[in-house]
Structure formats: structure tokens, C-alpha cells
Structure 1
């Protein structure tokens, strides 16, 4: 029963009810047939409204509104894809969390996963933040709604994020399984193959990536990005990368001191993660407590 309850509990944190097909997709560590799922849900006394299953009434309240808001966000993302075309050394851009789940709140931002060329992660981040800040598209402590938040960046030498996964790490599994690539979508297959550990806990979701058709042909770098890559390659580019790392780490370290030390901040040569207010550990505790309640 745990395998079926986990997705219902997890997505309750995002006020998202699930259909039978979605429960099958998100079932934890096991595959189920539809008839078997129906029997388990009935035995677990899971609530149902139309095609949706849920544990708490809050999951179905404003569900349609959140879904419609997500579609509005996707149109906004497509409108600014040119930003990513102008970032040198970019291998892939993708969306994660609430927007990827299709359940967007009134204060939601747009969480980004960025993959860069090897040894150019800090340079690429500098250009990305420059564009986002220049056009007022970057999330801040005061402005979050419909703003871009590039909180996770990795380079192509560190595609496998398995070393960051702990036992029953529900958040990172669902986060990775429902990631939506928006720029250079073909690279997603390479990224997913490097993270095949997802398959053990989410076998159906691993086989059915969350791909949106409107982002299928968005991988042409601009002349500006091409020119910057030519200029910032080789030893000169290495020096610029080292300088960019020093300057950005100073700002991030000051932010970490101001906000308090958190395990969700990583500032390395191949990965940058800036979840200053992350709740990864809390998610596991919430789900484990809820499992004890509903099982």
C-alpha cells in the first residue's frame, strides 16, 4: 500500500490531486495494473472526486485554477527562450518543481535546472544571471511570482546526481522524474541515462519523460553565444572561469551567512545549488509521518 500512498502524500504538498493514470506513473518502487490500483485505493479509503484521487480536501480546492495558471506560466517560459540561446556554454535548460508538476500557486516562481559545458559552469551562470537581471526576469526575495530561479546548475562532467540521493529521498526522485527540458531537449536523453537510479523507485515515470511539444526545437545558440564561446575557450577562458567563480562565491557565501547555513547549498567546480530555503529533509519526514497515519 505504501507504494500507492507515497505519490498521493507527496503531491498533497503541492495541492495536486492525481488521476489513476498519474498514480500508476508515480507509484513508489513498483508497477501496478489499473485494476490492482483501484482495489488498493478502495482498501486505503482514498477520497475520489470525478477522475481525481486525493487524501485531503485541500488537494482538490483550486486544482483547476492552479493547472490553468501553470499553462499561463508555460507560455511565459516559451516567450523568453531566447535568453537561453544567448548563454554561452549551455547544454540544456529545464524546469522543475511546481510548474513541472502542473500545479502553480499564486506566489510560485520558475525553478530551473541548468546543464553547462565542462569547466564553464560559473561562466555560464554569470551570463545567465546577467540576462535575467537585465530584463527583470530573475527571482528575488521580494519578487518571486513568474520569475526565473536558476537554483541548480551542473556541468556535463557531473550529470549523475545519484551521489546526492539518500534513502527514501522522495523529493529528488519526483523532482528529477518530472523535470521538463525547455532548451536543447534532445540532450535530455543523455541526462536521463546518467541518472538511471530514478528507475528503481519510479519505473513508470522513468520510461515516460515529461516532454512538452512546444519546446521540441529550441536548441540553436545565438551568434552572441557562439562568439563568447570562441573568445572564452582555452587558457584565457579558464582564467575567466576562475575569476567568475571567485566573484560569485563571495556573493553566495555572504548570502549563506545572512540566511543561515543550510545543507541545500553546494558551491563546487561542477555543481552549484543554491536552495537557501530548501526543505528536502522535511519532505521525507512529512511523508514518513503521513504513511504511518494512513497505512
Structure 2
């Protein structure tokens, strides 16, 4: 089998883990190699003819199941509605102290949502003030539980301007970075994408969404609050909040507490980041992805041999 066909299968296999068919353009954007459009079209048609993959309208999938197409179309329609809400949430949260950038992440950034979907947000803060910013924002989030709106404020991934490069470099983080939908902070996201140029090794055809982020707008309350903590006291409080949070999350892992999605509630805490612990979802997903590709290629080679 040609390299282009293997890479097409790899792209489809990743999104098949989420039961998400791809269009031809999406297959192209998620290929780990560069190729010409004509070459891609020919390889796709061959794979369809050989019944290795399936073609429904404009979508390609590994499974001969039209329900996946209906699921995607419904999910795309729901996502359009939720992205509108996410933009309003971003407009509000960007007013919080030390917030420098906000983007939509997770499944919503890939234009999919269902009735159980949350609005996942990726936050960039001012350097050395991540824990102050995060604590203030999460104190507010506790209030949203009172009105059952907490699913709109899933601020689960923070980094600060001091360390913009994502440490884990793999297919999962590359896709997550490339599919972010920046809402606010055009300058900081430009710096973020430069710091994470390594994603092109995994997705050389992917264009980053720089134009979607709006410039930051200063407010007197945000500026005044930041002025109060731009000193030794702010440094001390930020370090204390990190220490308290890290201890609490370590206890959650030891007790094996689960979130609403059945994943252990583990966070990777550091001075310049707060994010879900890669051990409890990311690494497992990559393992499933690699196993799926291996099984798929073994099955195809066995079929050709016979």
C-alpha cells in the first residue's frame, strides 16, 4: 500500500476514535505529510473502490455506518449554537485579571457538540500570575453551579506567557493546538503559535486560526486589580495558590476520584501551567490510536496476501 493511502487511514483512524467522519478537505488538513490535491483524490477513490474506507456524500469514514454521518451533521448544528454561547462567555471572562488570551478547545473547537457537551476553554494568563487568575476565575465558576451554567465555563487548561510551548509533543496535542478557536488575545496567540511551530511536523497542511482572535481591551477594573498584585505580595499569593491546588489535586488522584466523564480527576500543576494530567486521557488515547492503526494495517496486509 502506498504511503499516501496509509496516511489517509491514519488520519481517519484518529477521528474514528471519536466516531467523527471527515470531509476530503479535513483529511488533507490532518495528513502527516504534504501531498497534491489530485493525488489525495485518487488515493481516496482507490480506498473507497477497494472497500477499505466508505464514502457518504462528502464524508469519508472507516465504518460502513450512515448513522455516523447523521451524528456528525447533528453535532455540527449543535456546535454552531454553542459556539455563539462560547463567544459570549469569552467576552465576559477576558475581563478577569491577568487573562491575556482565551480560545475554545475540545470537541467544540472541532465543530461538534451534543446534549452532554461542555464549553472547554484554553486560557493564557500573564506570566507568573496563572494561579491568581485561575483561582479568581474558578471562584466565579462555583457561582455558576447555582444557576446550572457550569457546563459553559470549563476552564480546564491554563498556561502563562512565560512558557507558551506545550511540553507534550504528539499527535493528540498537535491536533488540539491546531484546532483551537482563539476568541481574544491576537498578539499572545501569535506568540503561542510561533512557540508551537513543532505541530507542523504532525500537521504540515494545517493553517492556524490567527485571524479569529480579537485584540485585548483594557478595563479600569482589570487594570486596577492587576496593579494591586503586581508586587511581592502577588508573587507570594500566586505561589501559595499553586501549592494549595497541587496538594488538592494530588489527593484527588490518590482517592481516584472521577469526573463526569469517568476520567480520574488528575491535574498537572506547575508554576506556568494547569492542565489535565496526560496520564489519564491523553496517553490512553494515543495508545488506542496506535493500536488501531497497527490492527488496521495488519488486516489490510493480510487481505492483500490472500
- Unaligned ranges ≥5, structure 2: 258-262, 298-306
Whether contact under 8 Å (1:118, 1:157) holds in the other structure is yes
Distance 2:202 2:146 in 1: 35
- RMSD of aligned alpha carbons: 2.6
1:226-278 Cα deviation digits (max 9, x unpaired): 11100000112112212322333333233222226979631111111134884
Whether contact under 8 Å (2:86, 2:152) holds in the other structure is no
SS, match of residue 203 in structure 1: coil
SS, match of residue 164 in structure 1: coil
Residue 233 (1) aligns with residue 230 (2):
yes
Q: TM-score, normalised by structure 2?
A: 0.83
Whether contact under 8 Å (1:170, 1:283) holds in the other structure is no
Whether contact under 8 Å (1:17, 1:52) holds in the other structure is yes
Q: TM-score, normalised by structure 1?
A: 0.86
Structure 2 counterpart of 1:61 = 70
Offset, 1:73: 0.9
SS, match of residue 41 in structure 2: helix
- Unaligned ranges ≥5, structure 1: none
Structure 2 counterpart of 1:282 = 284
Structure 2 counterpart of 1:271 = 273
Match of 1:222 among 219, 223, 241: 219
Paired residues in the alignment total 282
Residue 75 (1) aligns with residue 84 (2):
yes
Distance 1:181 1:229 in 2: 23
Match of 2:46 among 34, 43, 48: 43
More helix, by proportion: 2
Q: Which has the higher contact order (CA 8 A, sep 6+)?
A: 1
Distance 1:210 1:80 in 2: 19
Whether contact under 8 Å (1:180, 1:212) holds in the other structure is no
Whether contact under 8 Å (1:85, 1:222) holds in the other structure is no
SS, match of residue 290 in structure 1: helix
Residue 27 (1) aligns with residue 31 (2):
yes
SS, match of residue 70 in structure 2: coil
Structure 1 counterpart of 2:301 = none
Distance 2:234 2:284 in 1: 40
Q: Quick check: which has more Rg, 1 or 2?
A: 2
1:13-33 Cα deviation digits (max 9, x unpaired): 2232211111111112x1122
Whether contact under 8 Å (2:75, 2:112) holds in the other structure is yes
